[in-house]
Structure 1
Amino acid sequence: MTNNYPKKLNERIYLIDGFDMGESERTGTYVIDELELTIVETGPSPSVKYVKSGLELLGFSLDQVKYIIVTHIHLDHAGGAGLLMEECPNAQLVVHPKGVRHLAEPTRLIAGAKAVYGTKFEELFNPIIPIPQERMVIKNDGDILKIGDTCILKFFDTPGHANHHFSIYDPVSNGMFTGDTVGVRYEQLVSDGVDFFLPSTSPNQFNPVAMQRAIELFAQMNLQSIYYGHYGMTNSPEEALSQVSMWLNIFMAEAETVYEEDKGYEELASRLEKLVKKHLGNEGISENHEVFRLIQLDLEVSSMGIIDYLTKQDKAKADY
């Protein structure tokens, strides 16, 4: 197993690399060191061994974990929740109300993932273990969760990426755990001096209006930090949110053109990749940089989501 010591982000929050899809700095699990030891995101089941190893390296035992929070139920964020819950006997899972039934009975989650990933499903996501409803805690918009004497987390309903998505505000660090709702951060570019963020517009619940609303909400909050599902923390939220908003507009404008030309998501992904490469080229990033492997994958999935959204919009107009 890769021995990757958890990264200390501040005095009480650590980041464990889950090596999702075998990639480092792709999907992370956050550990909040408070009286009630709290984890945010589990990653998929193959990541759970890294989460356990990371907790051990930090000096925590699995029976100390009191809360496991998942921002949404996509398998790269919550697929390992059932497996980890089995080994954390004192933990409760905190989830969006629209995610509960799917984690209790994950048949549809499994079927959806198999439809997309086919024969790779076993390697990437297995096993997906049901979670008893009595071990789940639902948090609606505005709800709170006390995890320490001075720390009361607050939950915000933030669809846009998915309808079953919330974000979690940590008042101590004035930071927000945003899952995928305001985009992806590319840690691979940080050593090149580039902070780069793109929206995550995957199928099949992407909604650009709701996504922009979340971006604006967070911008108004004057946050100190944003903690991303993919991947790591930024202490420049204003810049990050500005970038994601800009790229969301570019994604949608380009998609409208592609859709009007009756072309598919592959064409959209190709056009977006050219725009991103040009942008990063102006920042001094070579077209051969390793980050483009991840960016290409993300743009393919994001393009699927946008074309799906435009198709639904078109059908709704026709039905009306």
Structure 2
Amino acid sequence: MQPEHGIHTIDTGFHRPRFDAAYLLVENGRGAFIDCGTNHSVPRMLDALKHAQLEPEQVDFLILTHVHLDHAGGAGELMARLPQAKLVVHPRGARHMIDPSKLWAGASAVYGEAVMERDYGRLRPVPSERVIEAEDGYVVEFAGRPLMCLDTPGHARHHNAVWDPHSRSCFTGDTFGLSYRDFDTEAGPFILPTTSPVQFDPEALHASIARLLALQPQVMYPTHFGRIEDVARLAHDLHEQIDAMVAIALACDGRDDRHQALTEAFAELYARRLARHGWTGNRAQLQTLLGVDIELNAQGLEVWLDRRQREA
């Protein structure tokens, strides 16, 4: 059975099954990847080509939604195996693909060299002549199937979503939140926003979600994880939760235990919403599935609070 509109979902293998996705689009005998996971994901990307009966020489583009390492860490290694492909990336992210040393140094300062090597692998530069800086509205001319890059900040300032009019779908990176299949119920998919430790901007994220919704997409393809429908409801849920998370952050600001208070309040927020959604898991299961994201969301709101105070 052929995938709908030639869109193949690839589990990159990062962190756990059905956590981190990349996508392969196939059109008129040509291929384009959207995001790529880490260096350890490259064999899975090449296996997806074989499954689609394509050779590496038939791939025209690797399009990155943004340069966080779970989305783009394997770009250099993958590009080295795709001789005809161009790398398409937000202008703010391009320099980090051409020279990933600052990206590596920043992440290593947080996680340590050993963890970086284990989880991501050493980052490989992409030759500058193979990099296309995709400004807002840039159209990737892919085998007669135009793909439009849309500047969608909020999670990161170097974030593009990719609009595919052919399938009326958006490839949303992290702008349209996280929707793990583990939380699917009879009510459909569950969703929650994702911040980033340094660039979260709630007003910008609200605006980016509204911009995507204005396209009237039938389907969203977030990196975490896979195809989701019921787009209008999910957008409403994201807006509600962004506001709730900001309110929690403001209420916790100034506390000595601010970080712990944030993580506990976010866990409670998501548990309540999941219960209303019909998910019957317990708190231990929630922590297993969302512990990393709760921690990152707390960090993102703390950086936002501190930046807000500096700019006041």
User: Shared topology, TM-score over 0.5?
Assistant: yes
Q: How does 1:82-97 map to 2 (within 5 A)?
A: 82-97=76-91
Q: What is the match of residue 294 of structure 2?
A: 299
Percent identity over the alignment is 31
1:15 pairs, out of 9, 17, 26, with 9
Note if contact 1:182-1:215 (Cα within 8 Å) is conserved in structure 2. yes
**CA distance in 1 between partners of 2:110 and 2:54 (Å):** 36
Counterparts of 1:106 and 1:269, CA distance in 2: 31
> Mean alpha-carbon deviation: is it higher for 269-278 or for 101-110?
269-278
Cα deviation digits, residues 251-308 of structure 1 (max 9, x gap) = 1100111114343323201111022112212324221574541312101001101110
Alpha-carbon distance change, 61 to 93 in structure 1, aligned in 2, over 3 angstroms: same
CA distance in 2, matches of 1:175, 1:85: 25
Contact 1:186 1:291 in 2 (8 A): no
Indicate the residue corresponding to 2:214 in structure 1: 220
* Per-residue deviation, 1:9: 5.0
1:129 is paired with a residue whose SS is coil
Match of 2:165 in 1: 171
Consecutive unaligned residues in structure 1, runs of 5 or more: 1-6
Render the CA deviation track for 1:11-68: whole Å, top value 9, x for unaligned. Answer: 31110101112x1111111111113411100011111111112221222211111100
Paired amino acid for 2:27 = E
Secondary structure of the equivalent of 1:198?
Answer: coil
Per-residue deviation, residues 205-259 of structure 1 (Å, max 9, x unmatched): 1111110001111222211111101110112111111111111111110011111
Give the residue type in structure 1 aligned to 2:293. D
The residue aligned with 1:259 is 253
* In structure 1, distance between residues paired with 2:160 and 2:54: 27
RMSD (CA atoms): 1.7
Equivalent residue for 2:52?
Answer: 58
Distance in 1, matches of 2:295 and 2:133, equals 32
1:166-205 to 2 correspondences below 5 Å: 166-190=160-184, 194-205=188-199
Q: Which residue of 2 aligns with 1:4?
A: none
Select between 137-146 and 71-80 the one with higher mean Cα deviation.
137-146
Structure 2 residues without counterparts, runs of 5 or longer? none
* Counterparts in 2 of 1:291 and 1:232: CA distance versus 1, 3 Å: farther
Greater alpha carbon shift after TM alignment, 175-184 vs 189-198: 189-198
- 8 Å Cα contact 2:154/2:201 also seen in 1: yes
- Alignment-derived partner of residue 3 in structure 1: none
In the TM superposition, what are the counterparts of 1:122-161 in structure 2 within 5 Å?
122-149=117-144, 151-161=145-155
CA distance in 2, matches of 1:304, 1:209: 17
| TM-score, length basis structure 2 | 0.94
Q: Distance in 2 between matches of 1:81 and 1:290?
A: 32
Q: How big is each residue's C-alpha offset from its partner over 1:147-172, in whole Å with a ceiling of 9 and x where there is no partner?
A: 132x2111111111111111110001
- Residues 36 and 75 in structure 2, CA contact (< 8 A), matched pair in contact too: yes
Residue of structure 2 in register with 1:313 after alignment: 308
**Cα shift readout 1:155-197 (whole Å, capped 9, x = no counterpart):** 1111111111111100011111110012111111226654111
Structure 1 residue 315: deviation in Å?
A: 1.1
TM-score in terms of structure 1 length:
0.92
